[in-house]
């Protein structure tokens, strides 16, 4: 590995150098920024709609434009980091991210906010894989697991930080303050990144342009289809075309990568049980977790009437177990095995989500904490080992691509989880509230059957019938949330069973045979 700043200092198995600690701190701050940005605007959508006149479709793209751009470009960005230097790609990504975050500050029309979010997502795609690949290249094998665990814990809890900080800002300032803080923090991390040592693959090969185009098309079409599915319906021709097109592009990508001399991603890596099951586990973890957050935030704010800050504080206890457990779980991996950590973690996470079905419209915070902490225990148990399994089973010179696979699994899982939870919630809510909708004036029917937020707004204007309508709308939401939580829990229980068979067990060291005297 080429060190561009200083010669690599002596390493010890027991301690980290200051340079390693600084690299870890900057990398964790950068990945926390990227992940927090995904969730930060969820608390501000109401204010954005009121101040800018954004439609529901525009609000969706304000949230999802960032995710779509990020997911599409992760693998090419990771490959560029391997070829041209991971620190340089990190700096470039932070610069682009800061520009995207500044645009909505000056140009606050919905179209420009969407443009800014897409540009920020492009920058985030360069930042995210660079942070992990810098760590895996900058730490020796004996110290790498702990660093990866801390990174994974920060990445796994970053969404809570985004909700918490944005909720606190909205208590005093407008939604502009969120973009101002994102821009300022990204610039600070940008300057700090210049002090890092870099690394790259010394055996550079031409960039795989056909593979790059195919993987961008595959992930882009599939994620876009998942984004559109809750609104258009899963059987809508456009949605089906996007999903089928994405899967076809992915299949063609695999064929091309098997035949090309220098592939963007060596798909044979997925034949490695640790690498393949680690990627599968990560995708399912984030499918369930982001679907869970999607439901929990709405439940707290619209059913229990929490403010954005209160809902973020209510979810905050998830962060501590995830970070603390992630610090140690990857170090346990050789002794316990991926099968127990990822399979068991998925089952416990599923149990936590299943416990959400026991809540009602009058639940206390103590009752809410039980499923949250159980889910946090499961997530903390399996996130870091899955990430470690991916990066430890990839050649050192391809760590940018390994990091991108790790991040792409998270993003694809997140998109599927939100789409799945949103679709089940919408269908069950609409079905359960239909008897009340039939008795409403024609002008109010579509709004009330569309969402709980709209139903509560109509209820406020409905006079004496308002409380009854609001209560029925909340019951309908609970029905939808329970069905969605049950579906997410079942996905996790099935994935736990698959991992129990597929994922490798602990590493066994052979005892040397005594030599006869």
DSSP assignments along 103-123, one per residue = HHHH--SHHHHHHHHHHHHHH
**What are the C-alpha distances in Å from 140 to residues 14, 90, 131, 497, 509?**
12, 21, 16, 34, 21
In a domain, 513, yes or no: no
In a domain, 14, yes or no: no
pLDDT digits (tens, 9 = 90+) for 298-336: 898 888 888 878 888 888 888 888 888 887 776 777 788
Query: Do both 298 and 318 map to the same domain?
Result: yes
Among 246, 263, 280, which residue terminates a domain? Answer: 263
Decide: 352 and 372 in contact? Cβ < 8 Å.
yes
pLDDT at 357 exceeding the cut of 90: yes
Query: Do both 184 and 321 map to the same domain?
Result: no
> Token digits for 7?
């010669």
Count of the separate structural domains present in the chain: 3
In a domain, 511, yes or no: no
Q: CA-to-CA distance for 124 and 126, rounded, in angstroms?
A: 5
Higher pLDDT: 453 or 315? It is 315
pLDDT at 44 exceeding the cut of 80: no
Range of 436's domain? 272-504
pLDDT bracket for residue 142 (50, 70, 90): confident
**What are the C-alpha distances in Å from 294 to residues 163, 182, 285, 511?**
12, 22, 14, 50
pLDDT above 70 as % of the chain: 89
Query: Do both 139 and 106 map to the same domain?
Result: yes
Query: Do both 190 and 225 map to the same domain?
Result: no
Query: Do both 340 and 488 map to the same domain?
Result: yes
CATH of the domain at 410: 1.20.1250.20
pLDDT digits (tens, 9 = 90+) for 377-435: 999 898 888 888 888 887 766 776 777 788 788 888 888 888 888 888 888 888 887 77
> Token digits for 504?
């490798």
Among 199, 226, 243, which residue terminates a domain? Answer: 199
Query: In the prediction, which pLDDT does 442 show?
Result: 65
Task: Enter the pTM of the model.
Answer: 0.80
Decide: 217 and 246 in contact? Cβ < 8 Å.
yes
Query: Do both 38 and 101 map to the same domain?
Result: yes
In a domain, 129, yes or no: yes
In a domain, 7, yes or no: no
In a domain, 515, yes or no: no
Q: CA-to-CA distance for 367 and 318, rounded, in angstroms?
A: 14
Query: Do both 316 and 446 map to the same domain?
Result: yes
Q: CA-to-CA distance for 328 and 304, rounded, in angstroms?
A: 35
Query: Do both 284 and 189 map to the same domain?
Result: no
Query: Do both 66 and 123 map to the same domain?
Result: yes
Query: Do both 168 and 25 map to the same domain?
Result: yes
Query: In the prediction, which pLDDT does 11 show?
Result: 45
Residue for token digits 């200092």?
Answer: 9
Query: Do both 184 and 281 map to the same domain?
Result: no
> Token digits for 495?
């994935």
> Token digits for 102?
């500044």
């Amino acid at each position: 590995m080429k060190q561009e700043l200083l010669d690599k200092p002596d390493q010890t198995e027991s301690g980290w150098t200051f340079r390693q600690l600084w690299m870890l701190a900057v990398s964790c701050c950068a990945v926390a920024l990227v992940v927090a940005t995904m969730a930060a605007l969820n608390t501000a959508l109401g204010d954005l709609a009121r101040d800018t006149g954004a439609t529901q479709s525009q609000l969706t793209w304000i949230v999802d434009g960032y995710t779509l751009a990020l997911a599409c470009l992760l693998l090419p960005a990771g490959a560029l980091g391997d070829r041209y230097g991971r620190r340089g790609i990190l700096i470039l990504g932070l610069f682009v991210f800061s520009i995207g975050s500044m645009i909505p500050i000056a140009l606050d029309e919905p179209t420009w906010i969407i443009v800014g979010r897409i540009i920020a997502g492009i920058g985030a795609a360069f930042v995210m894989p660079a942070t992990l690949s810098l760590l895996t290249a900058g730490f020796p094998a004996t110290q790498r697991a702990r660093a990866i665990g801390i990174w994974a814990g920060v990445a796994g809890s970053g969404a809570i930080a985004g909700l918490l900080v944005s909720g606190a800002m909205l208590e005093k300032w407008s939604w502009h303050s969120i973009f101002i803080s994102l821009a300022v923090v990204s610039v600070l991390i940008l300057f700090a990144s210049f002090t890092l040592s870099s690394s790259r693959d010394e055996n550079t090969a031409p960039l795989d342009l056909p593979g790059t185009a195919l993987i961008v098309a595959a992930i882009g079409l599939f994620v876009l289809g998942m984004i559109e599915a809750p609104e258009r319906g899963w059987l809508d021709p456009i949605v089906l075309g996007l999903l089928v097109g994405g899967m076809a592009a992915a299949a063609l990508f695999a064929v091309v990568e098997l035949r090309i001399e220098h592939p963007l991603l060596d798909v044979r890596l997925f034949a490695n049980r640790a690498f393949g099951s680690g990627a599968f586990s990560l995708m399912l973890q984030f499918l369930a977790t982001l679907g869970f957050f999607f439901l929990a935030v709405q439940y707290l704010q619209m059913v229990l009437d929490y403010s954005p800050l209160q809902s973020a504080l209510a979810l905050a206890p998830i962060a501590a177990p995830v970070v603390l457990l992630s610090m140690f779980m990857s170090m346990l991996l050789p002794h316990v095995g991926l099968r127990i950590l990822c399979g068991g973690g998925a089952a416990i996470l599923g149990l936590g989500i299943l416990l959400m079905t026991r809540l009602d419209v009058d639940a206390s915070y103590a009752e809410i904490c039980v499923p949250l902490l159980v889910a946090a225990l499961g997530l903390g148990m399996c996130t870091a080992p899955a990430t470690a399994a991916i990066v430890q089973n990839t050649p050192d010179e391809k760590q940018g691509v390994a990091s991108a696979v790790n991040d792409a699994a998270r993003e694809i899982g997140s998109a599927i989880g939100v789409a799945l939870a949103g679709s089940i919630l919408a269908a069950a809510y609409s079905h359960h509230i239909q008897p009340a909708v039939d008795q409403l004036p024609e002008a109010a029917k579509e709004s009330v059957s569309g969402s709980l937020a709209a139903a509560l707004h109509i209820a406020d204007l409905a006079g004496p019938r308002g409380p009854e309508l609001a209560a029925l709308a909340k019951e309908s939401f609970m029905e939808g949330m329970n069905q969605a939580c049950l579906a997410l829990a079942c996905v996790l229980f099935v994935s736990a069973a698959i991992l129990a068979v597929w994922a490798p067990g602990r590493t066994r060291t052979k005892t040397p045979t005594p030599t006869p005297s």
